[in-house]
């Protein structure tokens, strides 16, 4: 329960920071409508699927996507438990196609993750802005290529991952940036996973 509250708080803080940085309502400043690969229903298993294809107008965000994707297999294997369930300390940042002519993709944080067929299912850990009928804690299904970032809570309560959050820290005003930094482990990937 504490993890869910902390994840929701961090998601809310990031939303506030992005809004304060100049994002207007309905705008995701680092996302241009880039393509997410359409995955057919009879796709290969998630480990064999192509990598998420999103573009950003921010080179730091593109690098964050790449670093998160590169370390995603380690994060998933380290947090997977029995019967397809994952540790409650895992949250994933997922790119979802939305029916909005201006924003074709919305990024949302998802927790309570477990395997479902060739993909995953979980609960929304952040409030969606372009998904009518979906709200915090609503169920959502997704595939591996849709995962753009991940976060895992460390034993001390801080977080590994959050590559996209780390990429935005220099552009976030104080004291919010310091508050976010204090919630992150200095290295985004645990030493044991490298």
Query: Mean pLDDT of residues grouped by 10 in the chain (194 residues)?
Result: 52 46 35 41 47 68 89 92 93 87 84 93 90 88 91 93 93 92 94 81
**Gap between the Cα atoms of 105 and 42, Å rounded:** 22
Sequential DSSP letters for 100-115:
-SS-SEEEEEEEEEEE
| Residue 159 backbone phi and psi in degrees, to 5 | -125, 140
Q: In angstroms, how far apart are the furthest CA atoms of the chain?
A: 48
Q: Answer for the pair 92, 150: CB distance below 8 angstroms, yes or no.
A: yes
**Gap between the Cα atoms of 157 and 151, Å rounded:** 12
**Gap between the Cα atoms of 64 and 53, Å rounded:** 13
Strand partners, 160: 152
134-137 contacts, C-beta under 8 A, 24 or more apart: 136/8
Structure-block tokens of residue 19: 């809004």
Residues 6+ apart with CB under 8 A from 24: none
For position 56, what pLDDT does the model report?
67
The 10s digit of each residue's pLDDT in 8-45 is 545 545 544 444 443 333 333 333 334 444 444 444 44
For position 98, what pLDDT does the model report?
81
Of the chain, the end-to-end C-alpha distance in Å amounts to 29
Structure-block tokens of residue 54: 């999103």
């Amino acid at each position: 329960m504490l993890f869910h509250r902390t994840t929701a708080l961090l998601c809310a803080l990031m939303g506030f920071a992005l809004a304060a940085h100049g994002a207007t309502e309905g705008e995701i400043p680092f996302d241009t409508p880039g393509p997410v690969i359409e995955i057919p229903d009879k796709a290969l298993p998630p480990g064999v699927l192509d990598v998420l294809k999103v573009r950003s107008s921010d080179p730091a965000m593109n690098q964050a996507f790449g670093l998160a994707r590169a370390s995603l297999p380690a994060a998933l294997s380290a947090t997977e438990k029995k019967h397809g369930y994952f540790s409650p300390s895992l949250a994933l940042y997922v790119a979802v196609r939305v029916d909005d002519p201006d924003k074709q993709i919305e990024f949302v944080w998802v927790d309570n993750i477990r395997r479902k067929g060739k993909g995953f299912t979980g609960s929304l850990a952040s409030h969606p802005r372009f998904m009518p009928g979906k709200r915090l804690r609503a169920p959502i299904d997704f595939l591996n290529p849709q995962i753009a970032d991940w976060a895992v809570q460390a034993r001390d309560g801080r977080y590994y991952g959050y590559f996209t959050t780390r990429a935005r820290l220099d552009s976030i005003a104080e004291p919010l940036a310091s508050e976010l930094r204090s919630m992150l482990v200095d290295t985004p990937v645990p030493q044991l996973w490298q």
